Structure 1
Amino acid sequence: MKSEGDRRRTLTAWSFLSPALILLALSVLIPAAMALVMSFTQTGLDVSEPLRFIGFANLRRLAADPMFYKVLGTTLLYLIGVVPPIVLGALSLAVLVNRAIPGIHVIRAALYTPVLVSIVVAAIAFRWLYAENGLINGWLGALIGSGFLPIDFLSNPVLALPSVMLVTLWKGLGYYMVIFLGGLQGIPGELYEAAELDGSEGWRKHLDITLPLLRPYLTLVAVISAIAATKVFEEVFLMTQGGPADSTRTLVYYVYDQAFAELEISYACTVGLALFLIVLLLTAVRLAFSDERSLI
């Protein structure tokens, strides 16, 4: 039996948690439940009309929708093109800045600065850089000479997706670098000294010591960057609007397009359900590789 003091502490804890739980329920849980219900209905714009249950019709439509498979493939390409460079790049940056040298704090702050930049500002800035009369084409024209033809980065179906990926990489590297840096600073220096005595020097000691001890951080960064890449929207919306020729149309943009352009609310909820299952799968992968040293 709980004592009066235990019950009072439990009540106090729930009192502090209740505002956050109510906000979470209103902003996440209830809308998610409503979207799940709406995916099995035919929903119109008139909220006064009752929902018309249509069973698995939207799921059958999703299974036969060629555009869904196209945007799913584009999303997977985005994930493959973003996650490995982020993991390797952020880890390399963390190793480089994990040193006690003059001005290292300034270097770390400079590398982290893109994280503080609004994604709207970053997307607009890169759109200007990619323009035919933008800075990148200007530099290339000055380097190559009069025979140079401006590159249409955002209107070329082959170049548009990598160009948008670059914004995600530029924006996220500093954030994941800090995660790796925290892990690196938790590794005792004596381990590196012992490795040097055993003949492990340079990058070899990072293969022998750093990577095994950073395995929970590697898994964490890989999974959360994969989830972020799967849910990418702002870069696509601000830079390409899903074009050209749907080459940058991702799952989240497809949900937005179906809901607010095509006004297919219930079908948009069904696509959102598929996105939820993908994110759930990535989370399950994270849990499958977790152990007692895991961060979350």
Structure 2
Amino acid sequence: MTTASRLGSPATKPAAKTAAIERKTDDERRHENSVGWGMLLPACLLLLLFIGIPVLIAFGLAFTNARTISPNPTRLIGFSNFTRLFSDPTFWFALRNVAVFALVVVPVQAGLGLFLAVLINKQVRSSVFFRTIYFLPVITSMVVVSLLWMFIYQNDGMLNQVLGKITFGHWQAVDWLNNPRTAMAAIIVMSIWQAVGQHMLIWLSGLQTIPGELYEAAELDGCSTWQQFKNVTWPCLRSTRNMILITITIAALSLFTQINVMTQGGPRDTTTTVVFEAVRSGFQQQEMGYASAITLVFFLIIMLITGIQRRLIRDR
């Protein structure tokens, strides 16, 4: 046996080494995949338990006469709940109120959040202080915020007192939440104040990812502050802008807590929303089948609006 045959061919050694590396790489990849799925499994189980299964149950109940407490057995009634729903004026009032709320809140909240983010994006000493102040309403419970603003909106509340001081006593006190003309506007103002800090931080995170070299180049080209925002800042915030618009839209369409705490849908259904109507039908009136029909229809409406919105703001 020659020395070369004992040591092995020079060509076989690299091939064997490469095969060992590939086997090791495959083993590591399988191990990483198994670890990843293991970490993902609890979240998937929770989503299935608290979202997937309730959605399927609601879909099934929408075609029945199910009630929360009833001696009569549940039976299929076909599309009777949907026929009743589309002929119910309260549902159309609720849908109109939600549409008005979303049309006002989405642009105002997004625009105000961007304005605040641009203001505090400057590296100044007080920027951390203002970020904290603007974000405090977000981490406060919506129930607490709603109760606080209920006191502000009362006849003898702070808002009427301030307006009375400004007008030297000529202001006539308004019961903002019990007036059909002002109730929804009061809810809109409070909702924008409460959530604008959250979207300000999202805008701020997007602003801080923009390379400073782009602004330096714009300054060298003689661009004004508005031109820098128009040609540098706004295009670079495309992905952030898309996410914010979709999240604000979904949150606005799902308006519930403020209505449940502050107005209970009144006065005269001027602040009733679709989610509130579904909860009221299901738990107060105990008509779970009808409430499920409301949620199913509203789910399809949200999916349609979100799909249209994604198509309009998609990358071109």
Query: Would you say same fold, with TM above 0.5?
Result: yes
Name the CA shift for 1:11/1:202 in 2 (closer, same or farther; >3 Å): closer
Residue aligning to 1:101: 124
Residue aligning to 2:136: 113
In 2, Cα distance between the equivalents of 1:215 and 1:4?
Answer: 39
Structure 1: segments with no counterpart, 5+ residues = none
Match status 1:214 vs 2:237: yes
Preserved contact between residue 227 and residue 282 of structure 1 (Cα < 8 Å):
no
In 1, Cα distance between the equivalents of 2:115 and 2:192?
Answer: 14
Match status 1:151 vs 2:181: no
TM-fit CA distance, 1:175: 0.5
Given the alignment, which residue of 249, 255, 258 partners 1:235?
Answer: 258
Given the alignment, which residue of 143, 154, 158 partners 1:131?
Answer: 154
Q: Summarize the alignment of residues 179-218 of structure 1 with structure 2, pairs less than 5 Å apart.
A: 179-218=202-241
In 1, Cα distance between the equivalents of 2:152 and 2:146?
Answer: 10
Match status 1:268 vs 2:291: yes
TM-fit CA distance, 1:58: 1.2
For residues 142-185 of structure 1, give each alpha carbon's deviation from its aligned partner in whole angstroms, at most 9, with x where no partner exists. 22234332111111111100101112111111100111111111
TM-score by length of 2: 0.86
In 2, Cα distance between the equivalents of 1:45 and 1:147?
Answer: 52
In 2, Cα distance between the equivalents of 1:245 and 1:96?
Answer: 41
For residues 16-58 of structure 1, give each alpha carbon's deviation from its aligned partner in whole angstroms, at most 9, with x where no partner exists. 2222211111111001100000001110234886531111111
SS at match of 2:135: helix
Given the alignment, which residue of 40, 49, 54 partners 1:26?
Answer: 49
TM-fit CA distance, 1:115: 0.9
In 1, Cα distance between the equivalents of 2:262 and 2:171?
Answer: 24
Name the CA shift for 1:192/1:9 in 2 (closer, same or farther; >3 Å): closer
In 1, Cα distance between the equivalents of 2:58 and 2:140?
Answer: 32
In 2, Cα distance between the equivalents of 1:130 and 1:261?
Answer: 27
- Structure 1 window deviating more from structure 2 (100-109 vs 140-149): it is 140-149
SS at match of 1:284: helix
Given the alignment, which residue of 53, 56, 60 partners 2:79?
Answer: 56
Q: Which residue type is aligned with residue 265 of structure 1?
A: M
Match status 1:178 vs 2:205: no
TM-fit CA distance, 1:75: 0.4
Match status 1:248 vs 2:259: no
Given the alignment, which residue of 173, 182, 185 partners 1:162?
Answer: 185
Preserved contact between residue 68 and residue 283 of structure 2 (Cα < 8 Å):
no
Match status 1:38 vs 2:58: no
Preserved contact between residue 69 and residue 286 of structure 2 (Cα < 8 Å):
no
SS at match of 1:74: helix
Match status 1:225 vs 2:225: no
Structure 2: segments with no counterpart, 5+ residues = 1-22
Equivalences, count: 291
In 2, Cα distance between the equivalents of 1:147 and 1:153?
Answer: 17
Preserved contact between residue 184 and residue 210 of structure 1 (Cα < 8 Å):
yes
Name the CA shift for 1:242/1:205 in 2 (closer, same or farther; >3 Å): same
Higher Cα Rg, which structure:
2
In 1, Cα distance between the equivalents of 2:237 and 2:35?
Answer: 38
TM-fit CA distance, 1:199: 2.4
In 2, Cα distance between the equivalents of 1:180 and 1:44?
Answer: 45
TM-fit CA distance, 1:116: 1.2
RMSD of aligned alpha carbons: 2.0
TM-fit CA distance, 1:223: 1.1
For residues 41-93 of structure 1, give each alpha carbon's deviation from its aligned partner in whole angstroms, at most 9, with x where no partner exists. 11023488653111111112222222111110110001011111011101111
SS at match of 2:178: coil
In 2, Cα distance between the equivalents of 1:108 and 1:5?
Answer: 43
TM-score by length of 1: 0.92
